[in-house]
Amino acid sequence: MTPEGGRAMPTDRSRGAELAARGRLPPERVALVDLLDRLLAGGVVVTGDLVLSIADIDLVRISLRALITSIRAPDEPEPVRWPGTPRSVPPPGTPGDGCPP
Residues of this chain that interact with other proteins (CB under 8 A) are: 1-3, 5, 8, 11, 13-17, 19-20, 23-25, 27-28, 30-55, 57, 59-60, 63-64, 66-68, 70-72, 79, 81-83, 86-90, 95-99
CB of 88 within 8 A of CB of 79?
yes
Pick between residue 54 and residue 75 the one whose CB is nearest to other proteins: 54
Query: Rounded to the nearest whole angstrom, what is the least distance from the CB of residue 77 to other proteins in the complex?
Result: 12
CB 60 within 8 A of CB 40: yes
Determine if the peptide bond prior to 83 is cis (ω within 30°).
Answer: yes
